[in-house]
Structure 1
Amino acid sequence: MEDITVGFIGFGLIGGSIAKAIKEKHPGFTLIAYDHHTDSVNVNLSLALQDGTLSKITHSLEEDFSLCDLILLCGPVLHNINYLSRLKSIIKPASIITDVGSVKGAMHDAVKKLGLTRHFIGGHPMAGSEKTGYENASAHLLENAYYILTPTEDTTEEQLSFLKELVTCTTAIPVIMDSQKHDDMTAAISHVPHVISASLVNMVQSKDLDGTMKSLAAGGFKDITRISSSSPEMWLSICLSNRDSILKFIHTFQDLLKEFELALTANEQDAVIDFFRQAKEYRDSVPTRSNGVISRVYEVYMDLLDETGAIATVATILASNAISIKNIGIIHNREFEEGVLRIELYEEAAMNQAIALLRQYHYTIYER
C-alpha cells in the first residue's frame, strides 16, 4: 500500500487506536486530524502530535482534508452525519469516507441524500472500553476484533479491497454486512444490553436508600453493569440514531420478561427452569475464541499463594521449562471473586505443558 494521507475527524479512544495501528504498520502515511476549536488546546490531539502518531493538526477542513485519500469520521453518529455535507464539496474524486459508529443506517441514509454513495463505506470496529480519550488508545485495541464494513450500492471492489487491507493493518478482522442487518444485530447484542445494564443500575440505586447495596455489590452485578460506565452523550446519539431497531428488541425483551414474570407468579417450575436452561444452552453455544475466525486464546487459571514473589515464582517455573508467557495478571469476577492468576500462552501445546508442570508443583488449576 503506497503512502497516503489519512484525515481524522474525532480523535478519542477508537480514532486514536486506529491511527496508532496505521502509523505502526505504515510510518510513511501522513495522518492529520481536524480540531474545530480555535481558542483552546485539544489535549487528545496534542498528545498524538507529541508522540508522533499525527503528522499535523488542522483547523481548516477545506485546506487540508481536500488532500486526504481516506477520511475517518470518529465522533458520535449525529456529529459524523453533520460533517458529511461539509466534506462533499472538498474531497478528491477518489477519496473514501468511512466512519466508526455503531449505527450504520442513519449514515447510509445521509450519504444517499448527499449523493456520496461512490465515496462512502460504513465501518464499525467492534472493540472498545469503558475508558475514553486518546490517553487510553492502543495500537492493539482492535486486535482480533471484528470490524464490520457496510458498502453502498456504488462501492467498487477496488475501494472495498483498499479499506479491508487497511482494517487488516489494525489486526482487526473485516466482515462485510448490509447496513440494516448491522443495525438490527448491534441493537440486539450491544445497544439493548446497554439499556438493560443502565436499567439494572438505576433499579438498584432507586432501592439503595442507605448505600448497602452499593457497598456490597460485586461479582455478577459489576460484570453485567460494567458497560454502564460509558459516555451518556455517546449513548444518546446511538439511541436516537438506531431508534427503530432498539425499540424492536426492547419490545422482544419486555415480552420475554413478562413471560418469566407470569411463570414465576404461577409457580410454574418447569417454565422457570426452561427459561434458564434455554439461555444457558444458547450462551454456551456462542463461539469462543477457539471457534470461528478469531484465534483461540490459550489460558490457564490458577490459585496463587498470598506471599511476596508468588507471581515471579510461577513465571520462573515456566521460563525454566522454555514456556513463553504472552500475558499474565490477576482477575476478579463472579466465578473467581477472591482472585486468581490468569496466564495466557502462545499455543495449545504450551498451555497443556504449563498445566501439567504447575500441577506437579501442587498449584490448583481451574479447567474452563
Structure 2
Amino acid sequence: MPQLAIIGLGLIGGSLGLALKEAQLEGLEIVGHDAEWGVNGRARKLGAIDREARHPAQAAEGAAVVVIATPILQMREVLEQIAPALGEGAVVTDTASTKRDVLRWAEELLPPEASFVGGHPIAGKEQSGLDAAEVSLFQGRPWAVVPSVRASEQAIKTVESLIALVGAQPVLIDAEEHDSYLAAVSHLPLVVSTALFSLASGSKAWPELAALAGPGFRDTTRLASSSPDLSHDICLTNRENLLHWLDRFGEELRRFRHLIEDRDAQEELIKAFAKVQTARDAFLRAPPERPRAAQAVDTMSAGERMLSFMVGEYVVRRTKEVERLLKERESGEAQPRRKLEDR
C-alpha cells in the first residue's frame, strides 16, 4: 500500500493530514508521528492519519513521501533520524517558514538516493497545535516549492501534485529569494505585531488602553499570538534578511514621523496616506502575479500524478524485497545440498 508520512502533527501537519484524507485517494496510507505525548492518538481519532509511529524513522520506513512539519530548529534532528530509514527514490519535503538552513541540513544528512524538495505553505493562523487544524487551511493559498540541487524532476512534480491536491498553489522559488521575500511580507509583520503589543501592554496605562482597543489594534497585533517557538526559530534562521527589512521599516517610520512633525508637510502627509491606500486596495482586488515559466500540458489530476509516483515506488521496493528474499531462500537451500554432496 502506498504510504505517506507526516512528522509533526500540529496546525500544519494536522491540517495536511485532514486535507489529504478529504481528497480520498484510494489505497493511500498516512502514517503520522509527533513528539508530544498524546498527539499521535488524537490525530488518528481526528482522522488526520491512519497509523501512529513511535519514532520519526518508523514513520519514514516504507514511505514514498515524507513531510516534515515540525518547528524549524527540530528539523535537522528529524532529517538525521529518518535518513537511514528512507527507501530508494523517497521524496522528502518540509513546511518550514525559512528555507536556506533546512536545505543545507538536507544536503548534509539525507542519502543521495532520496530527493529533498523544500516547501512552505503560506497559510496558517495565530493558533497552533493539532486542535487548531482544519481541512481547508491551504485552500487557495500559495505554497513555496524550493527544490534541492539533487532533487529529481519527478520528485518536484510529486510535491507540486501534493500541494495542488490540498487546494494550494505551488510557487517554484529558490531558497535565497524565499527567505528574503518572506522576511518582508511575513517575518517583519510578525515582529512588528509583537513589538506593538509589547509597547502598549507594557504601558502603565495598559488597563485604560485595553478598554479602548478596537478591531484595528486586534488586527494589527494578531500575529503576536503566534507560537513563541515558531517566532524564535524564524528570527534565528532568517536573521540577516529580517534585520535588513527591520532597518528599512525603521526608515519608513522615520519618514512618516517627519511628515507628522512638520506642520508645512501636511499636503505630503495626506498624499502619502492616499498613495498607500490606493496601492493596498489594488493589491486586495488583484495582487500582482509573479511571472511563470511556460509549462507543458498535463492531463493527469494532482491525485493521479502523486499516486502514480507512490505506487511506482511501492512496486519497486516490493520487487527488490521479493528478490532479496528469493536469493536468501536459494542460498539457504544450496547450503544443505552442498553438505549432502560432500558426504
Tell me, yes or no, whether TM beats 0.5.
yes
1:30 maps to a residue whose letter is E
**Alignment correspondent of 1:121:** 117
d(CA) in 1 for partners of 2:4, 2:124: 21
CA distance in 2, matches of 1:98, 1:184: 20
Please state how far the C-alpha of 1:81 moved relative to its aligned partner: 2.2
Q: Distance in 1 between matches of 2:222 and 2:168?
A: 23
Q: 1:48 to 1:36 in 2, by over 3 A?
A: closer
Distance 1:199-1:290 versus aligned 2 partners, 3 A rule: closer
Which residue of the partner structure matches residue 5 of structure 1?
3
User: What corresponds to 1:213 in structure 2?
Assistant: 209
SS at match of 1:124: strand
Please give the alpha-carbon distance, in whole angstroms, between the structure 2 residues aligned to 1:265 and 1:275. 14
1:30 pairs with 2:8: no
Which whole-Å CA distance do the structure 2 matches of 1:60 and 1:114 have between them?
18
Identity of aligned residues (%): 26
Q: Choose from 4, 14, 17 the match for 2:15.
A: 17
Query: Alignment partner for residue 77 of structure 1, among 54, 72, 87?
Result: 72
Change (3 A) 1:179 1:274: same
SS of alignment partner, residue 71 of structure 1: strand
Which protein is richer in strand relative to its size? Answer: 1
Q: Which of 144, 149, 168 lines up with 2:140 in the alignment?
A: 144
- Separation of aligned partners in 1, 2:248 and 2:287: 30
Paired amino acid for 1:280: Q
Counterpart of 1:277 (choices 266, 274, 279) is 274
Deviation at 1:116, TM superposition (A): 5.4
Instruction: Provide Cα deviations, 1:28-60, integer angstroms capped at 9, x if missing partner.
Output: 2111122446xxx42x32222123332211113
Give unmatched runs, 5+ long, in structure 2: 291-343
Alignment of 1:52-63 (within 5 A): 52-63=47-58
* Residues 113-122 or 164-173, more deviating: 113-122
- The answer to whether residue 240 in structure 2 is matched with residue 232 in structure 1 is no
Q: Determine the structure 1 residue equivalent to 2:44.
A: 49
Once the two structures are superposed, what CA deviation does each residue of 1:43-86 show, in whole Å capped at 9, x if it has no partner?
Answer: x3222212333221111334442211111111111111221122
Equivalent residue letter for 1:55 = D
Pairing 1:43-192 to 2, within 5 Å after superposition: 44-114=39-109, 119-192=115-188
| 1:204 maps to 2:203 | no
* Partners of 1:189 and 1:215 in 2: CA distance: 30
Closer/same/farther in 2, CA of residues 61 and 76 from structure 1, 3 Å limit: closer
Q: What is the CA–CA distance in structure 1 between the aligned matches of 2:274 and 2:128, rounded to whole Å? A: 37
Which residue in 2 is equivalent to 1:363?
Answer: none
Equivalent residue, structure 1, for 2:240: 244
- Structure 1 unaligned blocks of 5 or more: 294-368
Q: 1:205 to 1:76 in 2, by over 3 A?
A: same
Q: Superposition RMSD on alpha carbons, in Å?
A: 2.1
- 1:175-232 deviation line (CA, Å, top 9, x unaligned): 1111111111111011101111111111111224350111110121111111211111
Task: Measure how far apart 1:287 and its partner are.
Answer: 4.6
**Which entry has the higher C-alpha Rg, 1 or 2?**
2
> Quick one: distance in 1 between partners of 2:216 and 2:48?
38
Q: Could you give the per-residue CA deviations for residues 254-296 of structure 1, whole angstroms, max 9, x where no partner exists?
A: 1111122223223222332233233223212215369869xxx
Pair 132,36 (structure 1): closer, same or farther in 2 beyond 3 Å: closer
3-state DSSP class of the match of 1:286?
helix
Kindly provide the CA deviation profile for residues 119-178 of structure 1, in whole angstroms up to 9, marking residues without a partner as x. Answer: 211111111111222222122111111111111222222111111111111011111111
Q: Distance in 1 between matches of 2:111 and 2:124?
A: 28
